[in-house]
Amino acid sequence: MSGPMSPSQGSSVPSEHETVGAYALGILDDAEATAFEAHLAGCEWCAQQLDELAGMEPMLAALADLPGSGGTAAIGESLSAKPSPRLAEKLVDEVAERRAQKRRRSFYMIAAAAALIIAGPLAAVAVNGGGSDDGKQVAATPAQATFQTMSDKKSATDASTHVSATVGMAQKDWGTQAVLELKNVKGPLKCSLVLVAKNGQRVTMSSWSVPDWGYGIPNAKTETAKNPLYIGGAAAFQPNEIDHFEVVTFEGKKLVQVDA
């Protein structure tokens, strides 16, 4: 089934699809966000647009480590800092201007960056990678590519839920960059990756929605459902300060625990 035409094909995108950018940016009120999430559950096109934002958080966090960037711990901390009202207004105005110009592709990237500045790790967006429903191979997403370069990985499978998770970790001056690979999970669900520190503190590193067809399902009918989910996150704790990670639903059910 083909999705709605993209703006580059010369057809305007229905208003409900335009909301994907504002949703990623985090500027919808509760009612609007709830309405969009109901739409997202049945809209593959919108899900694909959100997929394209994947990996932005690790990429932005990595800027602090680039040679000559002047990266310090403060840069990493700024990724989860709440901006001033003037900055938030500027970000929203820029998104509105992009939308008016119908430059959707640029808008999505701006929304992803702004969402990470405003909401920090909570704004991370889930992706699946490695294939497509038509059988053609696609390039690895940034989150998946980052995961593949990580040497420090821990895995676990829950005996009750049968959900499998692998967490890749990289130590940074500002804390820990993490990428989750999740398999054998079906939706609809809203989930979070929670870091539990040795001192007992709990930090939500990222959150996402699982569609009906799920992620990493071995016998699934489509490549999309067979592919694992890869999602990035970040926290201020160093790896040696972490006790374990939990993948939990918004209702508080623990799907799998991975010891650090």
Q: What is the pLDDT of residues 227-251, one digit of tens each?
A: 999 999 999 999 999 999 999 999 9
Highest mean pLDDT among 33-47, 112-126, 144-158: 144-158
The residue with greater pLDDT, 5 or 91, is 91
Residue 46 CA to residue 17 CA, distance in Å, equals 6
Burial level of 16, CB count in 10 A (0-12/13-18/19+)? Answer: middle
Structure tokens at 203: 């930090």
Residue listed under structure tokens 């040497």 = 151
Q: Which helix (H) or strand (E) holds 257?
A: strand 254-259
Residue pair 186/255 in contact (Cβ under 8 Å)? The answer is no
Spell 40-76 as b/e; 16+ CB within 10 A means b. Answer: beebbbbbebbbbbbbbbbbbbbebeeeeeebeeebb
Secondary structure of 27-69 as H, E, C letters: CCCHHHHHHHHHHHCCCHHHHHHHHCCCCHHHHHHHHHHCCCC
**pLDDT (tens digit, 9 = 90+) per residue, 129-178?**
444 444 444 557 889 999 999 999 999 999 999 999 999 999 999 999 99
Tokens of 7: 């703006």
Distance CA 245, CA 133 (A): 31
- Count of alpha carbons within 13 angstroms of residue 163, beta-carbon side: 23
Dump pLDDT digits (tens) for 190-221: 999 999 999 999 999 999 999 999 999 999 98
pLDDT at 25 over 70: no
Quick check: 174 and 77 in contact, CB under 8 A? yes
Has this prediction a pTM greater than 0.85? no
Higher pLDDT, 66 or 166: 166
Region 30-38: mean pLDDT is: 76
Q: What percent of the chain has pLDDT over 90?
A: 43
pLDDT of residue 48: 72
> Two tokens at 17?
């699809």
User: CA of 219: how far to CAs of 29, 130, 184, 214, 226, in Å?
Assistant: 38, 16, 10, 11, 7
- Average pLDDT of the residues of the chain: 73
